Amino acid sequence: MERVKISHTVTAATQSVDMYTANEVIKDKYWIVNTKHGKVGTLRRVNDSMYEFFNQKSNTLEMLTDVDELFTLQTKDTSDNKAESYVTRFSEKFPCSFSNPIEYEHDGNLPLYKKTATGKSIFAAGYYIIKFKKWLPSYCPKLDTLTKYEYSGPYPTEWEMNLDLKRHKR
């Protein structure tokens, strides 16, 4: 797996510099792009002169003529806190199926929430794949389901979940 380290300037409310690393998944074709804070997207070679960058933070797809463009792009100022039109984010990363989730305190690393303060059902935010008889996709499953069956996740986007689902079905 090849690692590429390149600097990237971020323009936001606070001026900072992030270092991108690109981990090659498929030789000369597909890379996972990360910062020190985690995954920021994927890079795919479309043809000899075009690349496709999927930015999972903004859920946008950008076409690039050179890989170096990715690492010199200025990100948009997100300090105005515009609300997303159709997805509620839980813990700033994972989507959830409820508009006002109440965080469930626990020792684990799953993003868990309840729909009401007195509710007994606990849900896991994000996309998952769960192995019932075969691997199936799931969106915000109950914690009981995750403890009962083998699973993989959480994934912040449906697209990432589907990529891993294809790997598990092989």
The pLDDT tens digits of the residues spanning 46-64 come to 888 888 888 887 888 888 8
84 φ, ψ (degrees, to nearest 5): -75, 145
**CB atoms near residue 29 (< 10 Å):** 11
How many domains does one find in the chain? 2
What is this structure's pTM? 0.49
109 φ, ψ (degrees, to nearest 5): -110, 10
At residue 163 the predicted structure's pLDDT band, cuts being 50, 70 and 90, is very high
**Residue given tokens 């993989």 in the structure block:** 152
Structure tokens at 72: 């010199």
**Residue given tokens 């070679």 in the structure block:** 45
Query: Who wins on pLDDT, 48 or 153?
Result: 153
Same structural domain, 94 and 44? no
- Domain containing 145 equals 88-169
**CB atoms near residue 97 (< 10 Å):** 15
Question: Amino acid letter at 16?
Answer: S
154: cis peptide before it, omega within 30°? yes
Same structural domain, 108 and 159? yes
Structural domain includes residue 81: no
Please tell me the predicted confidence (pLDDT) of residue 10.
35
